[in-house]
Amino acid sequence: MAAVAALPMPQRQSRGEDDAGVRPSAKVETALAVRPCQQPLVLTGPVGMRRERRPSLPPIRQALPLELNSIRATCRSGLAGMVPSGAVHVVTTLVGFVPFTLGYTFGMLETAISGTRMNESACFKAGSLSLLYAMGIFPTVLYDQGDGELGSSPAGETEQSALLRSTPLLVSNHISYLDALILPLMLEWPKFMSMAVVKSWPLFGSIAQELDYIWVDRGSKNSRAAALDAIDAHVGAWRHGDRPLLLFPEGTTTNGRSMVDFKKGAFFTGAPVRPVLVKYTGAWDPACVDFLEPGDPEVDGEVGANDVGAMQQSLRYTDSDWFAQFVGHLLHSCTLLVCKPYIPCDAEKANPDLYAANVRAFMLNKLHMLNLVCDHSSSSDSQVLMKNLQRVMRVKSQLHEWSSRAHLRKRLQEREKRVSRRRSASSAQFQGSSGSSIVN
């Protein structure tokens, strides 16, 4: 499994207050669907549980609410159960490296001869997909066509590239290390913002440079300003048909059930964005979180308020636990939902906070529908998932339309009542004045 550790995936970012924008006293927000230029409607829930720390354990990276920073524990079979699946992983990964190496070699030759970029090489993409499948990762991509209609990936690469390169920025929720492997391959190699240290990695550093990664030195005090300058430069130089830049506006990883507040780095330019949602559907949830959820209360017993800190420490979830679970599970499936471009209005262009909040609310609505379909679907077939998600989106659209009609009907009725009262008052006043004239 050396391939997993060597691939240019972003490490779990430091979950400080500046990165995630969520303090321990922050409330969990569940935003409903909003139209552009509308303030998002939010429902507030309970705050996250207090997190204690033991000296023997590494510090927790971000005071995220526990409901976003934990996953359900899966069966652990120990070292004896991990060895067979680990051996299979090693063999299949080594086998996958053969077409990957060949694809990279032919891609370099094609680049040297024709002057094209590595991302345009069909050989390199085929080799990369072979390695992805050899590692047991099988993604499904669905495209939101609007009005409750869904479709699969376009048949031709030219059509797919034209569709994905219609906005300068792609924004996605961030769940796992695997995001950095799946999203670039499935989204036709967008540009990626990565740590500068990856540039010095053997093989994968050169691949990242060939793919025009944008490098940011996170150890520098000016890393945030450098990242904003890089985004601004990309948007300014981007033309229709160029590769977009893929960003994770949450700035951290969650378990995928909801999303934390977006940082405004992806939205301060006022450029259109195309939202992308990721949902992992395998037996194991590869989310990079800090805790495992407690087991069945009937088995483990109820946990008292004074035992919260001890319970959390006993259920800490580290990177070594994540790697053990990855090795212990052979198949890792996921579904990607590529949404229609989000075009900001003038108010959103002038207010990056409003723009970020509205895009988050829009993506939350899609994410909740995606979670609803994937969590309650007994089939992993892409066509079945697409039909179920399409049905949910149509129902959601109809309910929104009906609520809008009911609201309009209510306003018309109130207007008719006001007009009727005015007419009655005018008629009574006219009759009174007419009666007084006759008496005189």
pLDDT of residue 137: 94
Confidence grade of residue 3 (pLDDT, cut at 50, 70, 90) = very low
How, if at all, do strands 245-247 and 169-172 pair? parallel
**22 vs 212 pLDDT, higher one:** 212
Cα–Cα distance, 381 to 401 (Å, whole number): 30
The share of the chain scoring above pLDDT 70, in percent, equals 65
Is 15:61 a contact under the CB 8 Å cutoff?
Answer: yes
What is the dihedral sign for C-alpha 137, 182, 99, 126? positive
Question: What is the radius of gyration, based on Cα positions, of the chain?
Answer: 27
Alpha helices in 308-351 (DSSP H): 308-314, 319-328, 346-350
Is the sign of the CA dihedral 279, 323, 253, 235 positive or negative?
A: negative
Q: What is the mean pLDDT of the chain?
A: 75
Average pLDDT over residues 139-161: 74
Helical H segments across 58-210, by residue range:
78-114, 122-134, 157-164, 179-186, 204-210
What SS3 class is residue 152? strand
Average pLDDT of 280-295? Answer: 85
Name the DSSP class of 342.
B
Q: Among all chains, which residue has been given the structure tokens 């190496």?
A: 101
Residue 42, pLDDT > 60, answer: no
Helix (H, G, I), strand (E, B) or coil at 214: strand
**What is the number of other CB atoms lying within 10 angstroms of the CB of residue 157?**
13
- Whether 39 shows a pLDDT value over 60: the answer reads no
Q: Which two tokens stand for residue 344?
A: 């900001």
Give the lowest-confidence range in 55-59, 101-105, 198-202.
55-59
Give the Cα separation of 42 and 238 in Å (integer). 34
**How far, in whole angstroms, is CA 196 from its chain's centroid?**
23
Which pLDDT score is estimated for 162?
Answer: 80
Do the bridges between strand 245-247 and strand 332-338 make them parallel or antiparallel, or are there none, so unpaired?
unpaired
Please give the DSSP secondary-structure letter assigned to residue 28.
E
Query: Residue 410: its pLDDT value, please?
Result: 73
Q: Is the pTM of this model over 0.85?
A: no
Mean pLDDT, rounded, for 270-280: 95
Alpha carbon 14 to its chain centroid, in Å, reads 18
Q: pLDDT for 191-227, tens place per residue? A: 988 877 878 887 778 888 888 888 888 777 788 888 8
The predicted pLDDT at position 167 comes to 94
pLDDT in tens, 348-404: 999 999 999 999 999 998 898 888 877 766 555 555 555 655 565 555 555 555 555
Over pLDDT 90: what percentage of the chain?
31
Determine which of 2-16, 82-96, 157-171 has the lowest per-residue pLDDT on average.
2-16
pLDDT given for residue 55 in this prediction: 39
Count Cα neighbours of 355 within 13 Å in the Cβ-side half-sphere: 25
**What gap in Å lies between CA 373 and CA 396, rounded to an integer?**
13
Token look-up 């590239």 returns 161
